[in-house]
Amino acid sequence: MNDIDAQLGRIRGDVPPLAHNARSIAALTSNPGCARRAIMDAAGIDKPRLASYIGFPAPFGQSQFAITRGNAFEAQVKANGCAELLRLLREQLGLPIPEVSYDDLEEVGGQRSQLVRHTRTRSLLTRAVRAGGDAGTLFDHPLLRLEVGGRPVYLEPDLIAFQLGGRFHVVEIKSFAVIDGQADGDKVAAAAIQSAVYVLAMRDLLAELGTGPEAVADEVVLVCPENFSNRPVATLLDVRKQLTVLRRQLSRLARIDSLVGLQPPGLTFDLELDQAGAPHRAAAELADDVHAVPARYAPECLASCEMCFFCRDEASGLTAALGRAVADDLGAVHSVQMALGLADGTITPADDQAEAAALLREAARLRRECLGATA
Amino acid sequence: MLQRRIDELRTEVRRAAVDRDRARVRALRAELRTTEQAWEESLARLDEEQPASGSATTSHAPASMPSAGDGAAAVVDGAAAARGGGSLLPLREQVHQALTLLAAPAAPKLVSAVHEAFFTGLIPSVRLTSLRRDEERSFRSAPFARPYYVCAALTAELLAPARGVLAVSTWPLDRRVIGPLSPRVNYLSAAIRVAESYLRIPGPGPAAQRLLWRLAANIPGASGGARNMDPARVARAAQAELQIHAAGDLAARTAAAARARRQLDDPEQLFGSRLQLTRQAAAGSE
């Protein structure tokens, strides 16, 4: 492990690794086949900075409006000792009336240090586990810890873990609307995977206390505004699948050594910062090093990875840039040039391209028939 | 009286500006200016009569200005609005009024809503954030110089200031302590007090109605819908739930208050203790 740590350290250069958060851990699962992303995440590289240094800054991060809106909605749901949330939990999950205990963990004795908050979270949860149902129902902003790639990561869920029937439930408050019982599928998926990160961290913590994983429910409570109002509505979300994906992805991060072993020995993404923090490395040279690690670009990357514009530029002219569905249909035909060649018959297909080539020629014929001479 | 006329004039200026009726805009703005002048003068006279309340005018700028075609009109509007409106009482007294009505520690948002519902004018909650700090500074420089202070509620376990909750220094210490059950208990007792005040005042306004309805919505059995809301029923339902939590909450509060009296000095009893001390306090209590 030391060996691999040293290798990752060399790839990162002389800067401290970037800490993960729930969002970045969730993003790990979106493109598991991408070696470039896996190595960068494992080494804790500042991807936004790297991307902008080599000329492909990503207009990334949440919009300030979205953050403000999210915080306002969260504050509304949690106002006055989670009054609105209690109503939802009582109505929809049958939380008993006496269960109203509320502990604020966002600040401990005027301190916001992560260590203090984590210690306090631990001690409160320990007490809740030992004493059963009576010691604490709602925990506001607990600070959990999860091992990611051999390093502890503090996770600050914008959520509350509450106990119902002896099981902890994770509550995720999101500000996208559920309209007529339907919400944006992508957003729900993102929320589910983020909540799964919290469930995992919570289970880790309870495992340290000698409690089995069943103490944390597989279902998380998603609280969203209903229709076009600000009135919150709660739904149960099963995250078992996301948990499996996450676990697999995290164990893959732990086994990053095999992947690092495949890369060229001198590889480094070091920006060569000076004392003042200004980068000195030649951008072109750095870009070459980034090119050396294979990526697997798909248009979905634009929503989750800071390197997306660099990879898209690299992938231009390849069928992968057209989306996973197209790339899958074309099979072994990797570049757009080749696809066009196969379609008009100027390139003879290899054995593994024969099927795709037949389809392409058929499509070209249909196109000619439809468009006639103008095509 | 003058203020109402100013408001009317502003509306008309805006309307005329949207209609691009320049002549009318000019005439209206001239009238607006003279009316504002008169209003300023009357305000100055008021100030001379009561010099003590001079610094107290609360201002609230309108949240959104309709985008009038004439930019200058909007500027005049904003400047005038910044000067006027709101209660003449100092901020801390407005907060004190609202908290006294609630008789329980409350978050700035609730304080502001109560003030809007039962007193005059809105308290901008931005200004409430610095209030507690100002009060603490004032207390530390001259302890007990004022009849009351707007102070912090203390968390039961660490006796630290509870985040975003305001209280009044004249309350007994056990009312100012926040235990695990207290947020709910405070919420319910606030609902009861609001319902009682609602019954007491003649012709409660829409703000009071909205506040009571919002509080009632989260209490089981209290809300009969927005149309037919019965304050007595809200109070009864809140009382019923309160009875379930009251005993446990009281025990936790009294114990914590006793500990606070033993361990904290005067400023800390009002404004909470920070971490170094709380570590010892927590160790002593467990």
Q: Which residues in B lie closer than 8 A to residue A107 (C-beta atoms)?
A: 160, 163
What are the tens digits of pLDDT across the range B90-137? 888 889 989 999 999 998 889 888 988 888 777 877 777 788 888 888
Query: What distance in Å separates the CA atoms of residue A266 and residue A285, rounded to the nearest whole number?
Result: 12
Do residues B207 and B277 share a domain? yes
Query: What distance in Å separates the CA atoms of residue A50 and residue A285, rounded to the nearest whole number?
Result: 12
Query: What distance in Å separates the CA atoms of residue A68 and residue A124, rounded to the nearest whole number?
Result: 30
Q: Which residue has the tokens 């949330």?
A: A85
Mean of per-residue pLDDT scores for chain B: 77
Cβ(A101)–Cβ(A137) below 8 Å: yes
**The domain over range A64-248 is classified in CATH as 2.60.40:** no
What are the tens digits of pLDDT across the range A258-273? 788 888 888 888 888 8
* Contact between chains at A109 and B275 (C-beta distance less than 8 A): yes
User: What pLDDT shows up at residue B57?
Assistant: 39
Select the residue from A77, A78, A93, A101 to test the B interface by mutation, using most B Cβ atoms within 10 A: A101
pLDDT at A163 over 80: no
∠ CA(B76), CA(B80), CA(B84), 5° rounding? 170
Going by pLDDT thresholds of 50, 70 and 90, the confidence category of residue B77 is very low
Q: Which residue of A has its CA nearest to B282?
A: A109
Do residues B52 and B110 share a domain? no
Which DSSP category does A37 fall into? Answer: H
Q: A146 to chain B, minimum CA–CA distance in Å?
A: 26
B250: helix, strand or coil? helix
Q: A97 to chain B, minimum CA–CA distance in Å?
A: 8
What are the tens digits of pLDDT across the range B33-54? 888 888 788 777 766 655 444 3
Residue that wins the pLDDT comparison between B177 and B204 = B177
What are the tens digits of pLDDT across the range A186-210? 889 888 988 999 999 988 888 888 8
Do residues B208 and B278 share a domain? yes
Do residues B41 and B164 share a domain? no
* pLDDT above 90 coverage of chain A, percent: 5
B231: left (phi over 0), alpha (psi -120 to 50) or beta: alpha
Alpha helices of B142-265 — where are they, by DSSP H? 173-176, 182-200, 206-217, 231-263
Of B23, B55, B83, which one is at a domain's C-terminal end? B83
Do residues B79 and B145 share a domain? no
User: What pLDDT shows up at residue A285?
Assistant: 86
∠ CA(A177), CA(A183), CA(A189), 5° rounding? 115
Model-level pTM greater than 0.80? Answer: no
User: What pLDDT shows up at residue B69?
Assistant: 38
Do residues B179 and B212 share a domain? yes
Pick from A18, A13, A58, A9: which is nearest to A286 by CA?
A: A13
Of B23, B50, B83, which one is at a domain's C-terminal end? B83
Do residues B20 and B99 share a domain? no
Query: What distance in Å separates the CA atoms of residue B146 and residue B143, rounded to the nearest whole number?
Result: 8
Q: Which residue has the tokens 């002219």?
A: A317
pLDDT at B61 over 50: no
pLDDT at B88 over 80: no
Mean of per-residue pLDDT scores for chain A: 83
What are the tens digits of pLDDT across the range A241-252? 999 988 888 887
Number of domains in chain B: 2
Which DSSP category does B162 fall into? Answer: E
Of B57, B83, B109, which one is at a domain's C-terminal end? B83
What are the tens digits of pLDDT across the range A328-370? 888 778 888 888 888 888 888 888 888 888 888 898 889 888 8
Query: What distance in Å separates the CA atoms of residue A65 and residue A58, rounded to the nearest whole number?
Result: 18
| Chain A to chain B Cβ contacts (< 8 Å) | 71
Q: Which residue of B has its CA nearest to A81?
A: B183
According to DSSP, the residues that pair with B150 across neighbouring strands are B168
Do residues B108 and B72 share a domain? no
Query: What distance in Å separates the CA atoms of residue A288 and residue A310, rounded to the nearest whole number?
Result: 12
Do residues B73 and B6 share a domain? yes
Do residues B6 and B110 share a domain? no
Query: What distance in Å separates the CA atoms of residue A134 and residue A114, rounded to the nearest whole number?
Result: 27
Going by pLDDT thresholds of 50, 70 and 90, the confidence category of residue B193 is very high
User: What pLDDT shows up at residue B47?
Assistant: 61
Containing structural domain, residue B114: 91-285
Phi first, then psi: give them for residue A25, nearest 5 degrees. Answer: -65, -40
User: What pLDDT shows up at residue A319?
Assistant: 83
Q: A20 to chain B, minimum CA–CA distance in Å?
A: 27
Cβ(A296)–Cβ(A31) below 8 Å: yes
Q: Which residues in B lie closer than 8 A to residue A82 (C-beta atoms)?
A: 183
Distance of CA B204 to the CA centre of its chain: 18
User: What pLDDT shows up at residue B85?
Assistant: 44
User: What pLDDT shows up at residue B266?
Assistant: 82
Do residues B110 and B15 share a domain? no
Query: What distance in Å separates the CA atoms of residue A317 and residue A322, rounded to the nearest whole number?
Result: 9
Do residues B58 and B182 share a domain? no
The 3-class secondary structure across A321-352, one letter per residue, is: HHCHHHHHHHCCCCEHHHHHHHHHCCCCCCHH
Going by pLDDT thresholds of 50, 70 and 90, the confidence category of residue B276 is low
User: What pLDDT shows up at residue B62?
Assistant: 40
Among candidates B110, B161, B273 on the partner chain, residue whose Cβ is nearest the Cβ of A80: B110
Q: Which residues in A lie closer than 8 A to residue B275 (C-beta atoms)?
A: 108-111, 116
Domain boundaries, chain A: 64-248, 321-374
